[in-house]
A and B are shown apart, each in its own frame.
Chain A
Amino acid sequence: MSFVRQITKFSQYAKIQSYFKNISAAPVFHVRSYGSVPADDPSTFPGAKAPFISKPEMIMPTDVAPIPIYRVMDSEGVIVDSTQDPQLGEGLVKKMFRDMVMLNTMDKILYESQRQGRISFYMTNFGEEASHIGSAAALEMRDLIYGQYREAGVLVWRGFTIEQFVDQCYGNDADIGRGKQMPVHYGSKELNFVTISSPLSTQMPQAVGAAYAFKRQQNNDRIVVCYFGEGAASEGDAHAAFNFAATLDCPVILFCRNNGFAISTPSTEQYKGDGIAGRGPAYGIATMRVDGTDVFAVYNAMKKAREYVLRENKPIIFEAMAYRVGHHSTSDDSTAYRSAEEIEVWNSKEHPISKLQKYMRTKGWFNEDEENAFVKDIRKQVLKQISVSEKKLKPNWREMFEGVYDEVPQHLKEQMQELEKHIAAHSDFYPLKHFKN
């Protein structure tokens, strides 16, 4: 028994070795040779194209090597393989850096403002800034984004303003979403960012449907990108999305942010296979796995993914590995289920912002004073916006009845009138002065 195990381990080792030789190539799964039946005796079952074998074999999960993680920069911000340097100009790299810093800075302040009770809820993006910015930078503005809730960086890249972020969190009259959803449920028609909703994974088959509709448009040059966490990938809708995207040939990038945790549940309790990328081949979908703390790796891979998806009208499963540095949300204290030391590693050495900063230093593009001034300026802007946004009135309460349908139906008109009458009689009881009239 132990002899067999050793053999298996050795062959696995060889396989992994061969991966490292081909690390820049797409992952190739090891094809097992069963050898007992000539290859010219194929089966004719409609359900699978496969040869017969004459001995029962169990395919073990360990027979397939893990999909390797593509990276461009190491922890010190050094480009590992110069052929993979995206050669981005100073301006673009600086925008990437500043957008990541801007997101990080805004997160810190809005997180604090929730702790002070000024907004009801918040979710930070700490540690995942590079997967947002790197992927967004590789896309075209016309590409349609479906997100989960931790992708605010995509909006930052596309030009969503501090004012728009903060107004949404306050649900005031300037909020595009008209104060109807919880904070961080952003959406923008202009920026092709579909409004976030709380139920996990529901956006996944939707993204696939939108991609199918795009594909049918003449000279289509748009793709759809759908972000989701590794926890959300356990939902039935994720399975639906993968399978529909594959069978219906949809130009969609299914972008998994694998940050190791779904609230308190570590990924080891979320799945037993090779992450989310490991599922790609089983659905017949091209797959990529990248270092999500490396903005250039995400950028390069997404460029390649976008080209493929648009050219072939086929989906890709894209897994960005990262670590959720912050708490799940303002309703969570993550030290209840993981150590502060572990978090600290990812918050410093392996942090996407510090990696890019090191890269910029070697290029001579990083100016400490300039960046400090930038952070200070962003802080000032966000703080100022908070004081402005919290003073803005909420929308007219009558809007509560609007948007349920394209037109307000009779029964809702009557319910609105009923409330109107009631409020008139009890106006002291309601926070009317905070709402537009």
Chain B
Amino acid sequence: MNRHTKSILISLLKHKQISVTRSHFTYYPDKNVPAVLLSEGVQKMNMFQAINNAMDKALEEDNTALLFGEDVGFGGVFRCSINLRDKFGKDRVFNTPLCEQGIAGFAIGVANAGATAIAEIQFADYIFPAFDQIVNEAAKYRYRSGGIFDCGSLTFRVPCGAVGHGALYHSQSPEAYFAHTPGLKVVVPRGPLKAKGLLLACIKDKNPCIVFEPKTLYRAAVEDVPTGSYISEIGKADILRKGNDITLIGWGTQVHVLLEVAEMAKQQLNVDCEVVDLVSILPWDRETIVNSVKKTGRVIISHEAPLTQGFGSEIAAQIQEKCFLYLEAPIQRITGWDTPFPHVFEPFYLPNKLRCLSAIKEIINY
């Protein structure tokens, strides 16, 4: 990994507007918040603050919980762990050497010993050195030992996704690589409220979990977040907008692209889109998806990651199998191209709202 690139990126991220790029989405704050959560009190938070708040709660509630990774001690390059070292001590919130396979292996060991590990991989693009530890070790620990050892109390936090100018190694969405690994749980929040709930759920879950956090939302996404502890269920998709004509499926930042597309489709084409945030990549909520598609008969799946073997393929195959007689048009996948994630061409690479809207037109006229 290139530290120099990273520091440039970080300094860029601190400035809200960057001349050559602009955000490809409009943030839609969470509206379907259960009243129970709100009753405990809420606070306006952006996503890094919500994540910070979740980890604060986790460290407070569980004395064995540890938070570690590269540059986590001073608050993290995205500020997610800010003030936590001061509050909980440097034996609980600490920097590791710069080595992802070490971070992952160390986290597994902490969890083997029964303690709670919250490990940060600085960018999803740099999770690959830890791939062996995550795929061959963490995911298979319980299975291969006949259940006598496990590393269920570990969670990886991993910033992912497009950020406007991250190019090849600060933009990737590697969820599909991990979706192919039995034993893991993989989730992607769409904003602050979900990020806190999912992170707390993953930390408490008895299986190794990966939370891919779309980093472009760290500052851009702001909404009311309950101040108390709460859990957002893993494996459960959220229907964010009801509709009868087409089901739009996405996760992470792309959910907001799809919400805007649904507005455009309504206004320009008088098409009612149902927008589903898949939330959980593994295990994923087939029931919610299948029910929605049986109702609408048309589907668009959209993700930033490349098309071929992206997680959209799995969803499409399952829909085809379960909803064959209900489909009125071929399932469409609007995704990143099968190229590395480019720098100056990012506006042409992303599955933006216009590409999604064109797909809607095609699918309606099929």
Give chain A's interface residues, CB within 8 Å of chain B: 144, 175-178, 180-181, 185, 187-189, 194-195, 197, 199, 202, 204-214, 216, 224, 236-237, 239-241, 243-244, 247-248, 402-406, 409-411
Contact B145 A187, beta carbon cutoff 8 Å: yes
Contact A208 B101, beta carbon cutoff 8 Å: no
B115 contacts partner chain A, Cβ-Cβ < 8 Å: yes
**Contact count A vs B, C-beta below 8 Å:** 151
Contact (A209, B108) CB under 8 Å given A197-B137, A409-B235: yes
Most buried by B among A213, A214, A402, A404: A213
Tell me which residues from 125 to 163 in chain B have a Cβ below 8 Å from any Cβ of chain A: 129, 132-133, 136-137, 140-150, 152
Residues of A with C-beta under 8 A to B109? 205-213, 224
Contact B136 A216, beta carbon cutoff 8 Å: no
B117 contacts partner chain A, Cβ-Cβ < 8 Å: yes
Q: Chain A binding site: helix, strand, loop or mixed by DSSP?
A: mixed
Extra 6 A-B pairs, beta carbons < 8 Å, given A177-B146, A404-B183 = A194-B112, A197-B140, A199-B132, A206-B109, A244-B102, A248-B106
Segment of B16-24, B31-39, B89-97 in the binding face: B89-97
Residues of A with C-beta under 8 A to B132? 199, 202, 237
CA distance A244 to B96 in the complex (A): 7
B107 contacts partner chain A, Cβ-Cβ < 8 Å: yes
Contact (A178, B137) CB under 8 Å given A199-B132, A205-B105, A406-B207: no
B182 contacts partner chain A, Cβ-Cβ < 8 Å: yes
Residues of A with C-beta under 8 A to B182? 404
- Nearest chain B CB to A209's CB is how many angstroms away? 2
CA distance A212 to B109 in the complex (A): 9
CA distance A204 to B108 in the complex (A): 11
Contact B102 A187, beta carbon cutoff 8 Å: no
- Nearest chain B CB to A163's CB is how many angstroms away? 16
Residues of A with C-beta under 8 A to B185? 405
Residues of B with C-beta under 8 A to A236? 99, 101, 129
Complex A-B: 28 CB contacts under 8 Å: A176-B148, A177-B145, A181-B144, A189-B148, A194-B112, A195-B144, A195-B149, A197-B144, A199-B132, A202-B137, A205-B102, A205-B104, A205-B106, A207-B109, A212-B106, A236-B101, A237-B101, A237-B102, A237-B132, A240-B99, A240-B105, A240-B106, A244-B96, A244-B99, A405-B185, A406-B150, A406-B207, A409-B235
CA distance A187 to B142 in the complex (A): 12
B110 contacts partner chain A, Cβ-Cβ < 8 Å: yes
Contact A404 B143, beta carbon cutoff 8 Å: yes
Contact (A177, B115) CB under 8 Å given A202-B136, A236-B129, A247-B97: no
**Cross-interface CB contact of A209 among B94, B113, B152, B206, cutoff 8 Å:** B113
Give B100's nearest chain A residue, CB to CB: A240
Contact B99 A213, beta carbon cutoff 8 Å: no
B64 contacts partner chain A, Cβ-Cβ < 8 Å: yes
Contact B136 A199, beta carbon cutoff 8 Å: yes
Contact A243 B283, beta carbon cutoff 8 Å: no
Contact A216 B102, beta carbon cutoff 8 Å: no
CA distance A208 to B99 in the complex (A): 14
CA distance A177 to B143 in the complex (A): 8
> What 3 A-B pairs are tightest by C-beta distance, nearest first?
A209-B109, A205-B105, A240-B102
Contact A205 B101, beta carbon cutoff 8 Å: yes
Give A411's nearest chain B residue, CB to CB: B283
Contact B102 A241, beta carbon cutoff 8 Å: yes
CA distance A224 to B110 in the complex (A): 12
Contact B137 A199, beta carbon cutoff 8 Å: yes
Contact (A189, B149) CB under 8 Å given A202-B137, A210-B110, A406-B207: yes
- Nearest chain B CB to A135's CB is how many angstroms away? 20
Residues of B with C-beta under 8 A to A409? 235, 283
Residues of B with C-beta under 8 A to A208? 105-106, 109
Contact A210 B146, beta carbon cutoff 8 Å: no
